[in-house]
Structure 1
């Protein structure tokens, strides 16, 4: 009986083993991408625990007891997941799969030829964020001055503007939240550089394009700087600033929901006190003095749309006396009264898959220059230049996402400019009007995480030249390896002659073609860029003197600019030190404006080198910042006019090399005090600490026989100030990640 029971049990066990062994089916195959086997791809039966992972050659194999219709799933974070239906019967299965790359905004290659972008939303190494600008020695908190430490930007000290890759300052345009900003720099007189008008703390990011920029922007032969303002402040705050140069005060108010905010800011500056402490090369009859105020509000609707407004008003005066180069005249007296108001309005709203941006800006600028009188004498005389301008810009853009990394956008832009120039010597005003209507379209094409392209076109009609233009733009990027990428950009760019040059002769658009090639390596804490460029200029304006002022007579000018640039930024190699190095080589020739032949531009240097270093010592609550700029000597030219008002080159020469070492120190006495009700930063800044005797150029007499150098206002400039914020802690911004 016992033997019978054991035999029955064994028979049942063997039966079950045989049944189980018959149910085990092997599923195998190979997973590939572009005919290459893929490693670490997960292959599983949906809603089961059966599956495996591919080996180095892309092969997989597993056994299952499942039967009937099943779903085989192939998945990996870098590739799009696919599902294949299969039927499991009594025989083994071989199932192969070809995967497609998973398109991701994070992994996708970024087109960066010709541009440097700084924004928290972007994947690329952030460059020149607001805290970078504030902590760059020698920049004095100005965007334009900080940009002069980047490759491609020339160091210019005698006049305002961004001079990029052999282009004039007028060839760079500025935008705020997509709208054109006219008169980005303050009013000034020849030989003295004015400062930026817009407050750096307004902005959360920027895009600086030194060539090949997007079709969304136009009327700039060289470059564009696109500034993006903050959406809402973090919390309520009251801000004060005090120094021997100026006093500032303002506040920001924001509700808890961050759906609305408003703020007011005012400043007053006067160089009268500091010029008693520092030796200036200029003899001011009226110390530079200015007053400015700005105000803003922001509203967010229930659908997430944001309306932003920013408005400003400023006035400034200056008087300067210098020894005259003309015979029988002892001194030249120049005085300035400037006024400016600027308004910027923008609205952004998403409607389903569409993003709608619309905005407008308005500027009124008045520049009254008296070349002989002091401010006490208000009589109009034979040496007055009075320039008044009204500028309006409106723009609308509609964008639609196609997939995660592809999009299409288009829009229309309208610009109107009216300038009235009164030159007392000519006894008549010059009035110039220009209206530019532009349409543009552009698409971002993401073919894969390794390849992307941008194709666009822009068309413009300008009433001043009574012409249309059509400007195609193209750019692409390819990922060479995990950390190395390459980009190239091409574009045609048009720009009207400046309003001040219009006279009686018909003119046309000025034109430039850009070719940009870049390779870049980006990894944690380090970034390297090598960029080569070529610009071809045609239809540049030529000028002559007519009625005591230069006017354009034709578009027969031309030229080129070519070179290469190297940029290296490193936050990792040296503990707690952030530094960057940039070098630019430029070869350029131009025949334009008053040039009578092709010459290397007087505003450009063949070699430019910048070094910036920053370190924050937490125990000392202090940040140390250093910058050094070198520029090889620029050429200078003495052009004279003949009896017909035509220019000819009289003499030429070369300036000595430019050198400047700058230092700044930021002390945070409240650092580490959690209960501190106010946050304070004490700043000490010294520009050109070694006192190098730099020269920006030469001024010549009317007959070209005498000259004098154009010098900085002070060989060494020292700034001391205190900035206090009540209600907001900016400690982390000031520390800048302990750097």
Structure 2
């Protein structure tokens, strides 16, 4: 009996072992084994997980045709049909990477984005701008602390990588903003007209920007306005310089809102307190106001309107460099209005972004001289301009990280210039069409390819501008990008002479970038080369009223130039508790033969070395934020260029002293943590150039070249004190969180 039982057990064991079939194989991605892949027979409990080399092995008693599945969170699922008979099965699988928006590499050469999508490496969000010492709450001033932007204090504009301030354009919700800066007098930079809190995000491109934008040789700043506010709020601000108030009303359905604001500024009191370098016979003052509404459609679209106006006046008196009179005087009256209407709506697989804007700007400058308290030699420079922009873009997703977009744009300008006996009229319609595609080949490789075509009715010419950018992930946190683009821009209307046959100015950009981004830290290295062709050449015209009224008239497109350099940016929010700091450095080698330059020269707005350091610390115990910034810039060149015998010659030249400025700002938040409070207050103290360094921006020369005067900031050290109250919305916690 025992022998029979042993025989039966052995027999059934043999049969059972015989029925077990072994399934083995290897799972790879680009010829490398992949671990942690779940391999299972579908609708059974049989399966295994791959080892470090990607190998797997398991046994099954199933028979017949079955589906073998391969599952890993970073790769696409694979299903393979196998036939299980009486022999072991060997089967291998080659995985395909699962492409998604979170893991995909993004082209970033030449650009820095600050938005909800880029919180990990976001730069220059509204809170960043408000809490950067020395930025004065202005977007353009805060950009000076990023690599690629030159520190130029005597005139407004973004001077990017060897380009003039007019070679960078600013857009709001896709539409061009003409006259982003306020009107001003020679030697004093205009300020931002737009409130920083109006925008929720921005993309700053110092080169190689998208085909959706044009008419800029050097760079582009794309601003995105806020959608709906979180709730109804009322805001009030007061300081020795200005007073303003605003409100935003959110509807009960939370699908629409409207708001208005108004403000008045006057520098008269501060001029009496501080020792100004500039003699303001009429202190700068201005009125401004704006209105907006926002509507969210039932299908998720958005209609947004923003309109604003401002007016400003000032008068400046300077000691004359000419022997015929004692002082030179200039009076300014400026007016501006801007309206922007944008619409965003998805139609099936297509997304439509359309917008239009209108702006009007008038700058009235009156020049005169003064001798023995009597004015004489009066003259006027009156600029008057109307501008209309319309743009429509249709975007279609191809897959999760690929898209195709295209559209058209119209830019109309109608300008008038009156200068003594000179009367200029300029009308131009620039019609543009563009197409661009984002191609995501994998999570490690992507490309952006685009082309833009423009036609100018004034120049009677058409251009075609290709754009290309590539990005590749080198390692987990390391990416590299390359960008190339051809860019065109019309000559500035103030230089245009009706007798000159002019064409587009153009530049080519080559940009290479390496970037490492981790939570709380960002490191960027960028190298670039820019080649300029067909730049405008001019000659000087000097009417009898004096050197302050010197104008230049274009006569050819024979100018050229180049700019090349290296840039480094490091930001760290993680290493030190409650401290956020960044360091940026730019090296720039640039030369140009343009405007009235007699030969190829280093531009007078280009500094060879620029270093900026920004540090922010919030102290919870004191409810106080302390912010420091420092900027160093190698001294820029200066030139005294005159026209003699129909030729431009350099009469005087040299190099300015190095620029240095240390700035401090302190923000006190007394209502921190009081969530049930009805009003939230922020006190601000800001000191620019706290060490009182006497910086110089340039020189003015007399007509004979024997006398000169320095161009300097209106004041060496400036102190601002202000109080801001918000009723209804606690904005202090946002400020604190973004500071950490």
TM norm structure 1: 0.96
Please tell me whether the aligned partners of residues 398 and 411 of structure 1 are also in contact (alpha carbons under 8 angstroms): yes
CA distance in 1, matches of 2:709, 2:444: 56
Q: What do residues 84-120 of structure 1 show as CA deviations (whole Å, max 9, x unaligned)? A: 1122223221111111111111111111111111111
Q: Hey, what does 1:311 align to over in structure 2?
A: 307
Q: Hey, what does 2:589 align to over in structure 1?
A: 587
Please tell me whether the aligned partners of residues 106 and 123 of structure 1 are also in contact (alpha carbons under 8 angstroms): no
Shift of 1:703: 2.1
* Matches for 1:240-255 after TM superposition, within 5 Å: 240-255=236-251
Shift of 1:133: 0.4
Does residue 1:536 correspond to 2:526, yes or no? no
Q: Which SS does the other structure have where 2:117 is aligned?
A: coil
Shift of 1:123: 6.6
Q: Hey, what does 1:192 align to over in structure 2?
A: 188
Q: Hey, what does 1:718 align to over in structure 2?
A: 719
Q: Which SS does the other structure have where 2:399 is aligned?
A: coil
CA distance in 2, matches of 1:326, 1:355: 62
Shift of 1:7: 8.7
CA distance in 1, matches of 2:609, 2:443: 37
Please tell me whether the aligned partners of residues 111 and 476 of structure 1 are also in contact (alpha carbons under 8 angstroms): yes
Shift of 1:546: 4.9
Q: What do residues 675-724 of structure 1 show as CA deviations (whole Å, max 9, x unaligned)? A: 11111110000000000000110111122221100111110000000111
Instruction: Between 545-554 and 282-291, report the one with greater CA deviation.
Output: 545-554
Does residue 1:597 correspond to 2:599, yes or no? yes
Shift of 1:209: 0.4
Please tell me whether the aligned partners of residues 22 and 88 of structure 2 are also in contact (alpha carbons under 8 angstroms): yes
Q: Which SS does the other structure have where 1:372 is aligned?
A: strand
Q: Hey, what does 1:518 align to over in structure 2?
A: 513
Q: Hey, what does 2:546 align to over in structure 1?
A: none
Q: Hey, what does 1:210 align to over in structure 2?
A: 206
Please tell me whether the aligned partners of residues 335 and 373 of structure 1 are also in contact (alpha carbons under 8 angstroms): no
* Matches for 1:396-407 after TM superposition, within 5 Å: 396-407=392-403
Instruction: Between 19-28 and 307-316, report the one with greater CA deviation.
Output: 19-28
Does residue 1:325 correspond to 2:327, yes or no? no
CA distance in 1, matches of 2:317, 2:481: 51
Q: Hey, what does 1:733 align to over in structure 2?
A: 734
Q: Hey, what does 2:432 align to over in structure 1?
A: 438
2:142 to 146, 160, 175: 146
Q: Which SS does the other structure have where 1:543 is aligned?
A: strand
2:126 to 126, 130, 154: 130
Does residue 1:687 correspond to 2:688, yes or no? yes
Please tell me whether the aligned partners of residues 315 and 339 of structure 1 are also in contact (alpha carbons under 8 angstroms): yes
Shift of 1:258: 2.8
Please tell me whether the aligned partners of residues 640 and 704 of structure 1 are also in contact (alpha carbons under 8 angstroms): no
Shift of 1:544: 1.4
Q: What do residues 531-566 of structure 1 show as CA deviations (whole Å, max 9, x unaligned)? A: 111111110000113584311100000111111001
Please tell me whether the aligned partners of residues 540 and 596 of structure 2 are also in contact (alpha carbons under 8 angstroms): no
Q: How many residues get paired?
A: 729
Please tell me whether the aligned partners of residues 366 and 378 of structure 2 are also in contact (alpha carbons under 8 angstroms): no
Does residue 1:663 correspond to 2:664, yes or no? yes
CA distance in 1, matches of 2:199, 2:252: 21
CA distance in 1, matches of 2:527, 2:13: 72
CA distance in 1, matches of 2:347, 2:5: 72
Q: What do residues 485-515 of structure 1 show as CA deviations (whole Å, max 9, x unaligned)? A: 1111111100000011111211000010111
CA distance in 2, matches of 1:737, 1:368: 42
CA distance in 1, matches of 2:384, 2:645: 30
Does residue 1:483 correspond to 2:484, yes or no? no
TM norm structure 2: 0.96
2:90 to 78, 81, 94: 94
RMSD of equivalent CA atoms: 1.8
CA distance in 2, matches of 1:9, 1:243: 102
Q: Hey, what does 2:501 align to over in structure 1?
A: 506
Q: Hey, what does 2:51 align to over in structure 1?
A: 55
Please tell me whether the aligned partners of residues 27 and 55 of structure 2 are also in contact (alpha carbons under 8 angstroms): yes
Shift of 1:429: 2.2
1:553 to 537, 545, 555: 555
CA distance in 1, matches of 2:530, 2:500: 27
Shift of 1:20: 3.6
Q: Hey, what does 2:69 align to over in structure 1?
A: 73
Shift of 1:285: 1.0
CA distance in 1, matches of 2:737, 2:331: 42
Shift of 1:192: 0.8
Instruction: Between 142-151 and 249-258, report the one with greater CA deviation.
Output: 249-258
Please tell me whether the aligned partners of residues 133 and 139 of structure 1 are also in contact (alpha carbons under 8 angstroms): yes
Q: Which SS does the other structure have where 2:228 is aligned?
A: coil
Segments ≥4 residues shifted beyond 4 Å? 6-19, 379-382
Shift of 1:14: 5.7
Shift of 1:420: 0.4
Does residue 1:268 correspond to 2:264, yes or no? yes
Q: Which SS does the other structure have where 1:121 is aligned?
A: helix
* Matches for 1:345-494 after TM superposition, within 5 Å: 345-372=341-368, 382-424=378-420, 426=421, 428-494=422-488
Q: What do residues 254-280 of structure 1 show as CA deviations (whole Å, max 9, x unaligned)? A: 124431111101111000111111111
Does residue 1:636 correspond to 2:638, yes or no? yes
Q: Hey, what does 1:574 align to over in structure 2?
A: 576
Relative to structure 1, the CA distance from residue 114 to residue 387 in structure 2 (aligned partners, 3 Å threshold; closer, same or farther) is same
1:235 to 226, 231, 247: 231
